[in-house]
Structure 1
């Protein structure tokens, strides 16, 4: 202040004596990226923030009114307001203790996700793909203001569901209008753009959908993250926020990784999960209430040798339960036997070899049944 500017007290005595000009500048490149609803919200928010100046210029005693308005509209500015709530931390040692994977392996997976910003965990059923994806998502957002969400793909999932599409909507006059409606990913990105920290979208069973059709222009943006493109349905600009990460899970028993579009494969880091017998062993030696996992591991190894294809191996997550002995018969009869019955549909002797009646004596002390 060089003395030529009015003091705050002088300004309050008569604001009309001063030429006040308040403006809000939005860069052209940012303007073209905004969808109509977002632009309207931005304009409304600007007026909302500038309204105290209207009170200042029009009221004889504006201070009390301004304080009341600010307290109502901007409670975060209250000195006594609690600090912004951040996501809880989930350190890698805690994940290692929970899953049995080594910290070094978990750190490599996190580094791959951070480097590529999109990764897929793939493997046969029961290898813990979704479980580890959820835990790593929480690790990535820990300590920040971000969030993670999960969406599950299926054969009918389409571009209109994930990106955007025209959806009929009834009008007040009884007719129909056809607005362009944002899909799950665009909604996620709009929400993530309001955060500073990482935001993670988990796409469960990603390979069950027609990925090239569902992703559309996203295929380009996954590789060129800093670029902005126009979306087909609305001709609006879109760019993936830099804090958005994608983690997919892929069940190789449903569809081999070799069948996934090559262009998509090179845009993701692929992390292979196989049945980790040592994880099963460590889990039950720590939490298993005296259950000896060694016979179960021996039977699982034998089954997977008979299957002979790592894409269809029986995983260990079926058996990661604190008190397994009481549930083991039901798990075997209702989950393992139906899977083997389908896989060995033309080898009935093998199916019979691994029924509960045949393996119970090997899995439980004395071969007792808990059913």
Structure 2
């Protein structure tokens, strides 16, 4: 039951506002339902792809304020599609009790989190999110439940029941019954139905039972106090959305910890009110912030939320997320959906209003550029490493210990010992999973520069723009997830001029200076290399065309020598699987060749022939022809380079190697 007079009071104002701005702000809800209804197929062969398409228009409902249920759900669907499908089969089973299904989905999500995302602190699939799924699937029966909205609507419509924190079961049942009562009353108002139908186009779900309209009406009520139901302050979605400019010379969002409280003055230095002062007055707790750095590179670098009411001097907010791959202003300008954004119309000011659809567009861009969905995060441990990389157990233990202690290590060795192959798997084994999202692999070359690596001006149209480099962006990504490990892998590290490439970051990569800030040369902003980032370099010691690594840099890295693994247990097991007498004889001869290379004063261990030349082939493909090609096109050209001044020695080994294939 509810107070009829209050209901009529709000309804009159709702009908007045519905066609004068409210619909533009809230119509995304009907679009979200239509998108879901047109794409949902529980039996889809590619469940994750189907789920992602179904929820494509629901980001505003499922992503907000450091709360990422959609991302987490899609991760579950990537790693465990059948288990995730089973959650939805159960949730959408109308023969089961409403509350039981919600509870089962919540518990099932926790099981998936522990199994596939144990480092995540939350699966985010709460009753608000789960009822959103139910509403999207059965829009003619259910409503989205949100505690704050339901509580306010109950109170402001004079309900004889209350929404009480902690009583989830009662709250969900009361909410469903109360909204059903409101819905029946709204169905009797022909004027409202005509107004609603006048806004509908084929892009929207027609809402024949007015369930979504009912939820929207109750949201409207919750956002308008009884004493002033004609107030024209309209929320968007759950709260309002704002764009906040941040001047890095005053405060840099990326240097502020997630969850820290911040404030922003409502007045300029000369004491005058900031532009669009009403925005500062309208911002309320729970409103979402898109935080935009105004220099040197204009880009969105963080998200936040208004944390408490203003005090007529300052607004207060918390940073809720870092954007590892920031969204540049140029990218934003390409979106037609943002063409009318207040900031684009007049960028003078500090706080700008965003519509719900504009906010959703920005969130979609952030999700697309910062996807955390791993294509494979299967478990990976020491035994997996030793099975893949032909290295002894003690060598692996030593290498892992050196990297974790020093934080920077260079794998050096002859060609074919598997340096690059081992580097990625070393990272996996330390993380305990095959997660390439936490790994960045690049290759240095003679032209590689600080501008590519850290920051620099790049051509853009008819001018130049300051852009962040690959290492800068990866450091920001690692800093945003301090509880996880990240690995930056540099192939051919000695091909680049490291002093030139790293610049002032040479000091920051040292273990003792991790987390310490230095001022970047280009923009004067503070920057640090996070403690949870590890650098693995690879260096080919047999390439005489390259100078050895700068001695001034050696103390920043530990050096681990990788040698041919013909004698390791793993390689011998692999060799046995090939079951080829010819290959067995060839490998035995290669080991003798390596003995001569080691004792050669002009060569040494760093020039030995690696085992990887003989790896990666299936037993049925390990033919004599395959082995002969390795000899003729990989090994002999290398020997001719090694002994360029000794034709007799090259000829001796050419005859010996070819002799393996003679019948």
Both structures adopt the same fold (TM-score exceeding 0.5): yes
Which piece of structure 1 moves more, 282-291 or 334-343? 282-291
Q: Which stretch has the larger CA shift, 286-295 or 202-211?
A: 286-295
**Aligned-residue offset at 1:277:** 2.3
**1:334 Cα deviation from its structure 2 partner:** 0.6
Aligned runs of 1:1-371 on 2, under 5 Å? 9-10=154-155, 12=222, 15=225, 31=253, 33=255, 36=295, 40-42=299-301, 45-46=303-304, 87-143=377-433, 146-170=437-461, 176-195=462-481, 196-223=483-510, 224-254=513-543, 259-279=548-568, 282-291=572-581, 294-307=584-597, 308=600, 309-320=604-615, 321-322=617-618, 323=622, 325-355=624-654, 357-361=655-659, 363-364=660-661, 367-368=662-663
**Contact in 2 for aligned 1:110/1:136 (Cα 8 Å):** yes
Distance 2:608 2:554 in 1: 22
Tell me how far apart the structure 2 counterparts of residues 178 and 296 of structure 1 sit (CA, whole Å).
57
Equivalents in 2 of 1:100, 1:210: separation in Å? Answer: 31
Question: 1:17 and 1:40 mapped to 2: Cα distance?
Answer: 41
Q: CA deviation at 1:168?
A: 2.8
- SS of residue paired to 1:259: coil
SS of the residue aligned with 1:242? Answer: coil
TM-score, with length taken from structure 2: 0.44
Query: Which residue of structure 2 lines up, in the alignment, with residue 3 of structure 1?
Result: none
Greater Cα offset, 111-120 or 191-200: 191-200
CA apart distance, 1:37: 7.9
Query: Relative to structure 1, is the Cα distance of residues 337 and 230 closer, same or farther in structure 2, using a 3 angstrom cutoff?
Result: same
RMSD of equivalent CA atoms = 4.0
Sort the Cα spacing of 1:190 and 1:270 in 2 relative to 1 into closer, same or farther, 3 A: same
> 1:303: how far off?
2.3
Further displaced range: 306-315 or 227-236? 306-315
Which residue of structure 2 lines up, in the alignment, with residue 4 of structure 1? none
Gaps of 5+ in 2: 1-150, 157-221, 229-239, 257-292, 309-355, 365-371
**Partner SS for 1:180:** strand
Once the two structures are superposed, residues 85-130 of structure 1 have per-residue CA deviations (whole angstroms, 9 ceiling, x without a partner) of: 6832211111112223233322321222122222110011111111
Contact residue 583 and residue 624 of structure 2 kept, 8 A: no
- Per the alignment, residue 173 of structure 1 pairs with none
TM-score, normalising length from structure 1?
A: 0.74
Structure showing greater radius of gyration is: 2
Is the deviation greater in 199-208 or in 135-144?
Answer: 135-144
Does the 8 Å contact 2:519/2:525 carry over to 1? yes
| Alpha-carbon displacement from aligned partner over 1:211-246 (angstroms, at most 9, x marks no partner) | 111111111101111201111012111111232211
Residue deviations 1:156-208 (CA, integer Å, cap 9, x gap): 111111111122322xxxxx332221111112223333434212111001011
Deviation at 1:292, TM superposition (A): 6.1
Structure 1 residue ranges without an equivalent (≥5): 1-6, 51-66, 76-82, 171-175
How many residues are treated as equivalent by the alignment? 328
Task: Please say if residues 117 and 246 of structure 1, whose CA atoms lie closer than 8 Å, have aligned partners that are also in contact.
Answer: yes
Structure having greater relative contact order (Cα 8 Å, sep ≥ 6): 1
